[in-house]
Amino acid sequence: MIFNSINTQYHSVSLRASLRAKQSFKIKSLMKIFLVINLLFLLLFSNFSFSQDNPYRKINKTFYPNGTIKTEGDYLYDQLDGHYKEYYPNGVLWKDWKYENGREEGVSIWYFPDEKVSIEWNYIYGKKEGVSRWYYETGELWSEQQYSNGVLQGATYTYYKTGEKQGEWNYVDGVLQGISKTFYTNGNVEVERKFVDGRQHGTSRVFHNDKSLALEAFFIDNKLQGDVLIYDKMKTLRVRDTYINDELINRVRLDYQGKVESKEELVKNYYPSGRLADETYMIDGLKDGPMKTFYESGFLKEEWNYKKNNIAGRSFEYYENGVLKVSSDYVDGVKRGNEKSYYENGILKAETIFDSNLKNGVCLTYHPNGNLASIGNYVLNRLEGNYKTYFENGLLESEQTIKDGMKDGKRNTYYRNGALEKIENYINGKLVGWTKTYYNDGSMMKEEYFQNGRLQKSKTYGENGLLISTYGYN
């Protein structure tokens, strides 16, 4: 019994001890888990606090004058790191870049004012990489560009708003190479060009929307060379242009039956030295288009435009130093409109209105210093009405009335200091009545009497006012 009692007690104690051990193990395990969770939380919290409170990380902002935000950017150690944004003046986001260590990284997006996406760029280490996309303002895809290490590489595509391909351009290291094409909305090729190192080189073609050839031209180093052929939709050749170094030399127009309608050519003449003297565009033997003449030095001398052998439009004449000399307007071969002439230093010399090659309207002339020299009105190439002249200092020199191109009525002239010099009277261009002349202090110098332009009598005075001489008096 004693043994059984002891054994029972032993088992009871052992059981209790075992339970306590198990409880202790569970408590210790829970404590470990709690400590691990707590440690992780502390670590995360510590990192978060560091990123938020990092004294080297900051956000810079700029503003429009009205206070609306203009830009904001995340900086670390004074380098962009995070988002950089620009805004329209109304506060709508315009651009959103992503940066790492001062360089663009990832997708950057531009927006239209209505917040629709405008452009999507992809960057790696500060350089464009992969596909970039451009969009219409209405949201449709407009272009896809392929970049590699910051330069265009491979095919670039453009699209119509309806989704059909509009163009296909091929790039090698950022330069156009090979065949590039544009398309009609029906998918047929519209234009086909060949590029070598970014310049047109080889045959280029334009097609009608039914695939028939519309134009064929040949380029050498981006310049037209040889024949350019133009066809109608019936596949009939209608125009043959001939080019040398991108300059049109002649043009032949054909009717729908292939017969010549007109011949156009650029005729050139040369000085004995071999320098170009003039060039004229001719149609069927008549001047029809631009004409240019040159000084032997090579500088442009005159520019004229002809229509069926008659000057038409504005013409120009130049000094040999390249400064404009005269500009005139022509209609059907006659001068009509405003004409301006200039001094060799470029200062305006005269303004004259013409009608049918005759001066007809106000005419102004100017001194070399730019001040007004004269003002008068012309009727059928003759002065009519009030006419005034001025000294270079701007003061009035003379004023008179003109009738039928002749002096008529009172005429006054003045000294450079503005003092009255002479008073005259004219009828039909001839002096009539008394003419009085003054010294510049206003005292009388001479009195003269005229009849029909002939002097009848006169008196002359010294500056002291005393009579010096007389004529025609008894």
Inter-residue contact 267 to 285 (CB < 8 Å): no
pLDDT digits (tens, 9 = 90+) for 335-359: 999 999 999 999 999 999 999 999 9
Segment 321-340, tens digit of pLDDT: 999 999 999 999 999 999 99
Q: Which residue has the tokens 């190479």?
A: 177
14 is a domain residue: yes
Across the strands, what pairs with 239?
230, 253
Number of helices and strands in the chain (H, E): 1, 45
Give residue 172's identity as a one-letter amino acid code: V
pLDDT band at 399 (very low <50, low <70, confident <90, very high): very high
Whether residue 44 has pLDDT greater than 80: no
With respect to residue 337, please indicate whether it lies within any of the assigned structural domains.
Answer: no
Q: How far is CA 2 from CA 6, 7, 11, 234, 238, in A?
A: 6, 8, 14, 130, 134
Region 229-235: mean pLDDT is 94
| Percent of residues, the chain, with pLDDT higher than 70 | 89
Whether the predicted pLDDT of 320 surpasses 60: yes
Q: What is the pLDDT of residue 155?
A: 95
How far apart, in Å, are the Cα atoms of 250 and each of 142, 218, 460?
40, 16, 76
Number of structural domains, the chain?
1
Rounded to the nearest integer, the mean pLDDT of the chain is: 89
Which has the higher per-residue pLDDT, 333 or 28? 333
- CA 333, CA 331: separation in Å to the nearest integer? 5
With contact defined as beta carbons under 8 Å apart, do 83 and 98 qualify? yes
Question: Strand 130-135 and strand 141-148: pairing?
Answer: antiparallel
Range of the domain at 42: 1-53
pLDDT tops 90 at residue 154: yes
Whether residue 40 is contained in a domain is answered as: yes
Q: Is position 95 within any domain?
A: no
* CA–CA separation, 416 and 423 (whole Å): 16
pTM higher than 0.75: no
Kindly state the average pLDDT of the residues 246-260. 89
**pLDDT tens string 86-131:** 999 999 999 999 999 999 999 999 999 999 999 999 999 999 999 9
Q: How far is residue 263's CA from residue 251's CA, in Å, rounded to a whole number?
A: 6
**pLDDT the model gives residue 53:** 62
The Cα–Cα gap between 246 and 399 comes to: 57
Q: What is the percentage of the chain residues whose pLDDT exceeds 90?
A: 84
pLDDT digits (tens, 9 = 90+) for 183-207: 999 999 999 999 999 999 999 999 9
Of 104, 65, 118, 109, give the one whose Cα is nearest residue 86.
109
Q: How confident is the model at residue 413 (pLDDT cuts 50, 70, 90)?
A: very high
* Residue 443 resides in a domain: no
Residue 389: C-alpha distances to residues 127, 236, 346, 393, 451 (Å): 70, 66, 22, 12, 26
Q: How confident is the model at residue 31 (pLDDT cuts 50, 70, 90)?
A: very low
Q: Is residue 25 part of a domain?
A: yes
